[in-house]
């Protein structure tokens, strides 16, 4: 499914908008199943200055989906092959943006990195989405520092 939205590597000045989107979407769809510790740890993660520096240096990659220049979706990559964050603005859900971000990322991994698989620690909200795209559970659901996730992988 093609999306009419632009998807590309993020510019430095798009970091804040992408993290604000992640926070807003997390609060709307995920925070209710997390402990207060988990919510705080997620917030600390996306506002961490070290993470931002890693992005600026190219060690933590951010790709964005844009609608007329506005960030409406985002996906991040750490350690070359691990999806760290994936969020789509609530108003754009079910329009193929999450799928298009995954497709963009997997094509990048195949052509630019030479990777053969990608991993993700899916939130409870995202498990069904990742399963529909062919991701397989590596282990059952886990909880660490209040964060609930299911480790998954996708063979490219």
Q: What CATH number has the domain bearing residue 25?
A: 3.40.630.30
How far apart CA 103 and CA 107 sit, in angstroms, is 6
CA distance 16 to 23: 10
- The DSSP 8-state label assigned to residue 154 in this structure reads E
Residue range(s) defining the domain that contains residue 107 = 6-155
What is the spatial distance between Cα 109 and Cα 39, in angstroms, rounded to a whole number? 30
Asked if residue 61 is part of any domain, the answer here is yes
Number of domains in the chain: 1
User: What pLDDT score does 62 carry?
Assistant: 98
Indicate the length of the chain as a whole number: 156
What pLDDT is recorded for position 4?
77
Give domain status of residue 130, yes or no. Answer: yes
Residues 73-90: pLDDT tens digits? 999 999 999 999 999 999
Does residue 59 fall inside a structural domain? Answer: yes
Distance in angstroms (rounded) separating the CA atoms of residues 92 and 72: 7
pLDDT digits (tens, 9 = 90+) for 97-149: 999 999 999 999 999 999 999 999 999 999 999 999 999 999 999 999 999 99
24 lies in some domain: yes
Kindly state whether residue 1 falls inside one of the protein's structural domains. Answer: no
What's residue 3's pLDDT? 62
Question: 45-77: per-residue pLDDT in tens?
Answer: 999 999 999 999 999 999 999 999 999 999 999
> Mean pLDDT across the stretch 36-42?
96
């Amino acid at each position: 499914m093609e999306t009419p939205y632009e998807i590309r590597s993020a510019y430095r000045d798009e970091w804040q908008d992408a993290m604000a989107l992640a926070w807003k979407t997390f609060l709307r769809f995920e925070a209710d199943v997390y402990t207060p510790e988990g919510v705080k740890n997620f917030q600390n993660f996306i506002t961490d200055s070290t993470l931002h520096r890693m992005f600026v240096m190219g060690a933590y990659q951010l790709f964005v989906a844009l609608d007329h220049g506005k960030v409406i979706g985002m996906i991040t990559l750490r350690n070359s092959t691990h999806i760290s964050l994936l969020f789509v603005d609530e108003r754009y859900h079910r329009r193929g943006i999450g799928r298009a971000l995954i497709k963009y990322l997997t094509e990048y991994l195949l052509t630019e990195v030479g990777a053969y698989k990608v991993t993700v620690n899916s939130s409870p909200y995202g498990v069904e989405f990742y399963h529909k795209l062919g991701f397989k559970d590596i282990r059952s659901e886990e909880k660490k520092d209040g964060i609930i996730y299911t480790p998954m992988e996708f063979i490219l």
